[in-house]
Amino acid sequence: MTAPAPTPALQAVLDRMAAAARAAGRDPADIALVAVTKTQRWESIEPILAAGQRRFGENRVQEAQSRWAERREGLELRLIGPLQTNKVRDALALFDVIETLDRPKLARSLADEIQKRGAAPRLYVEVNTGEEPQKAGVAPGAVDGFISACRDEFGLGVEGLMCVPPADEEPAMHFALLARIARRNGLEKLSMGMSADFETAIRFGATSVRVGRALFGARAKL
């Protein structure tokens, strides 16, 4: 059986990712595409799944459950939206990766639930690189201490860092900041870059990019 052809939008994103990687002297194989499926209809998602895409990102636990719980097999699911502590159990039952660890209360709750399950997801600490009051994420000045606490106090393995730069600022400086914070904390994985800026993120070291609209078109308004 031959693999089905990628959809034109998927192929275009993969081509742009590979070109950005080569331009930065990086191996395209070192950068993962996370297809962000929040609010998308199944008819839009199905062709991309059929084309072989296996890594998906979701913002809400409940929405992700309804979309993926019955077709979970062989996929890597990543939570990229805020996680309330009362949803931790459900999140751990569904997601392979949680990219939005951003406060001690959540770290404690994750640690407790991981202990009960005997299995841990891969974890990313979200950094609020723009220090925007309305946005989730640890402030850059507090992140080293938070990562240490995750490791030493809560016994959590941290795989990498994630950020969503302010909409109205040049993203490059935020990506550079995230890469710097990762380096000084011995972290190799960087989840950064969305439809509008994933090529810039790859230039600054992204190891995964989270792409929605460029794959699926505009989202329905929530």
Q: Residue 192: exposed, middle, or buried by beta-carbon count in 10 A (0-12, 13-18, 19+)?
A: buried
Taking CB under 6 A as the rule, does residue 59 contact ligand PLP?
yes
Judged by CB under 6 A, does residue 137 bind ligand PLP? no
Based on the shown chain and the rule CB under 6 A, indicate whether residue 44 belongs to the binding site for ligand PLP. no
* Tokens 């309330």 found at: 84
Is the CB of 17 or the CB of 211 nearer to ligand PLP? 211
Stretch that binds ligand PLP, among 13-21, 23-31, 110-118, 188-196 (CB under 6 A): 188-196
Q: Which is nearer to ligand PLP, 80 or 161 (CB)?
A: 80
Q: Does 213 bind ligand PLP (CB under 6 A)?
A: yes
Is residue 178 a contact point for ligand PLP (CB under 6 A)? no
As a whole number of Å, the end-to-end CA separation of the chain is: 39
176 half-sphere exposure, CB direction, 13 A CA radius: 4
Could you give the CA distance from residue 100 to residue 160 in angstroms, rounded to a whole number? 11
- Which amino acid is residue 204, in one-letter code? F
Q: Contact positions toward ligand PLP, by CB under 6 A?
A: 36, 38, 59, 80-81, 164, 194-196, 210-214
